[in-house]
Amino acid sequence: MDYDDLADLYDRQYGSYRDDLHFYTRLAQDAGGRVLELGAGSGRVGVHLARRGLDVTGVEPSVRMLDRARARATDAGVDVRWIQGDMRTLDLTPERFDLIAAPFNALMHLYSPQDQLAALRRVRAHLAPGGTFAFDVYVPNFGTQGVLRHEGETFVDGGHRTDVFVMQRVDAVRQIVTTSYFVDTTDPEGRLSRQHRELTQRYFTRFELEWLLRSAGFGARFAGSFEGGPLDERSHVMVVTARPELAAP
């Protein structure tokens, strides 16, 4: 998934999202060492961690997202090492990291079991002894397919109003959801322009993730919130912490 075309919309939608920051900050501070963020995006999490004095390396395939991440770090006055790369083939050896994080659905851009295992094996290769791998993905709960809907995302800037409409298509066999974004902007004279963007994600079930992690040599603990609540039918997110030593012998 190439986020170059989605970078502007992504930052408008999620640039100020903060629900996960305390979770990853606590893990990073407890680890007390180096942090590797996979799918670093426009630097929302990485810069937040760096502002708290942590040593952060962020890996992101999208050039435009990395440009935004660098600008965010500069604005915050922090130093983050940014790397354009793919989590499936990442090789920073002999470097090891005390916390490897893949926040905000980053693993949902691994579309096949081969890609998923390749990425997890790269995680294990870069994890320091006693280190932690943490990530979150959303719990699948989709609206009616093929219906264009407005979910309350309206942005006003300099007399321009932008409304974001979404429509989803779900391939239940492949566990792929494609979200189409229709971004409508009205200028002060009432002229309307539309941009179309698409986001493709591969969603997971709880036990699928557990077996996937086990196949890569990890044991895992699952929560249904960033505060550590149980994963149940009310949960909107799966929050996972994984370590090799948690795997069954």
Predicted confidence band of residue 29 (pLDDT cuts 50, 70, 90)? very high
> How far is CA 24 from each of CA 37, 50, 64, 66, 226, rounded to the nearest angstrom?
10, 12, 24, 20, 9
Q: Using CA atoms, how far apart are residues 82 and 74, in angstroms rounded to an integer? A: 12
| Shared domain check, 170 and 160 | yes
Instruction: Report the predicted TM-score, pTM, of the whole model to 2 decimal places.
Output: 0.94
Domains in the chain, number: 2
Q: Could you list the residue range(s) of the whole structural domain that residue 107 is in?
A: 4-139+204-246
| Shared domain check, 121 and 48 | yes
| Shared domain check, 101 and 222 | yes
| Shared domain check, 100 and 36 | yes
CATH of the domain at 44: 3.40.50.150
Residue 144 lies in a domain: no
Average pLDDT of span 111-134: 97
> How far is CA 18 from each of CA 45, 48, 90, rounded to the nearest angstrom?
9, 10, 27
Under 8 Å CB-to-CB from 193, ≥6 apart: which residues?
184, 185, 187
| Shared domain check, 111 and 220 | yes
Residue 162 lies in a domain: yes
Residue 133 lies in a domain: yes
Residue 110 lies in a domain: yes
pLDDT digits (tens, 9 = 90+) for 76-122: 999 999 999 999 999 999 999 999 999 999 999 999 999 999 999 99
Q: What is the pLDDT of residue 31?
A: 93
Q: Is the pLDDT of residue 248 over 70?
A: no
Residue 171 lies in a domain: yes
Phi, psi angles (nearest 5°) of residue 97: -130, 145
Percent of the chain scoring above 70 in pLDDT: 97
CATH of the domain at 170: 2.20.25.110
